[in-house]
Amino acid sequence: MGENRQKDKSDDRGYQIGSRFQKETKYSPGKMGGHVLDLNSIPRPYKYYKSPLAIIQMPEPLTKGEPNLWKLLQKRRSRREYNAGRSVALAELSSLLWATQGLTAHSGDTFFRTAPSAGGLFPVETYLSVRAVEGLEQGLYHFRPLTFDLEFLRKGDLSKDLAEAALQQDLILDAQATFIWSAVIARSRWKYRQRAYRYIYLDAGHIAQNLYLAAEALSLGACAIGAFYDDEMNKILSLDGEEETVIYMAAVGRPAGAQ
């Protein structure tokens, strides 16, 4: 016990940073005041590219029927093996997008989504690397929840580059699509300051769990990926890594052996 404790104290700089992060983003009585929200500087809630290669309107998601939630929870697994020769239907991809960040209702200018977000600020953006989806060219896409469409950003199969950036995780090579989630930090930082980073990671977890359950409902496989080289992933998406940075990924595909 004493040896383990001593080892923790002499751990590398990465451990110290993680510990400092927890301590310095704590909420405690007496330290909550002093921050006034500037309503004139609220960051834009949606991201749009000026000149995408194309904009693809997504079909209606497959939300009919009554899959049993309890059975889906029992079946949920991280599925890492996919039938590389198969494709995913565009309607199935549409359903996954709606399940993760689809708009469900609104009150005034505030829109509610399928996954919760701290303060209703929704800092997480969704990118898609498409390898084999019916009706979509291979390439990189950006999802727009408000208009429920995809901005086509870059042509070509990026699965090899993504696999290398994700510490050579080969499951990406066979996946029909890879979800890549980034965070626009300012959206949460505007209200929560340094505490925002905690909430951003929680938001990403909510989104990923919705993807898992929707994939099970569609008889698809999903596997979340948290291990990747940050700079390499941001480079693939042309993100600066500071104001917007990749925080999470998930491979999605037709499970191996599925008919």
pLDDT the model gives residue 5 = 46
Q: Does residue 181 belong to any structural domain of this protein?
A: yes
Alpha-helical segments (H) within the chain: 2-9, 13-24, 69-75, 90-101, 159-165, 171-174, 185-192, 196-217, 230-237
Q: Does residue 48 belong to any structural domain of this protein?
A: no
Q: Does residue 17 belong to any structural domain of this protein?
A: no
pLDDT the model gives residue 10 = 47
Which residue positions in the chain have pLDDT lower than 50?
1-6, 10
pLDDT the model gives residue 12 = 59
pLDDT the model gives residue 26 = 77
Full domain range(s) for residue 184: 76-259
pLDDT the model gives residue 73 = 86
pLDDT the model gives residue 121 = 94
CATH number at residue 131: 3.40.109.10
Q: Does residue 68 belong to any structural domain of this protein?
A: no
pLDDT the model gives residue 164 = 96
Q: Does residue 7 belong to any structural domain of this protein?
A: no
pLDDT the model gives residue 45 = 86
CA angle 58, 61, 63 (to 5 degrees): 175
- Number of domains into which the chain is organized: 1
Show contacts of 116-121: CB within 8 Å, 24+ apart: 116/203, 116/206, 117/199, 117/203, 117/206, 118/188, 118/192, 118/199, 118/202, 118/203, 119/188, 119/191, 119/192, 119/199, 121/45, 121/187, 121/188, 121/190, 121/191
Q: Residues 144, 68: contact at Cβ < 8 Å?
A: no
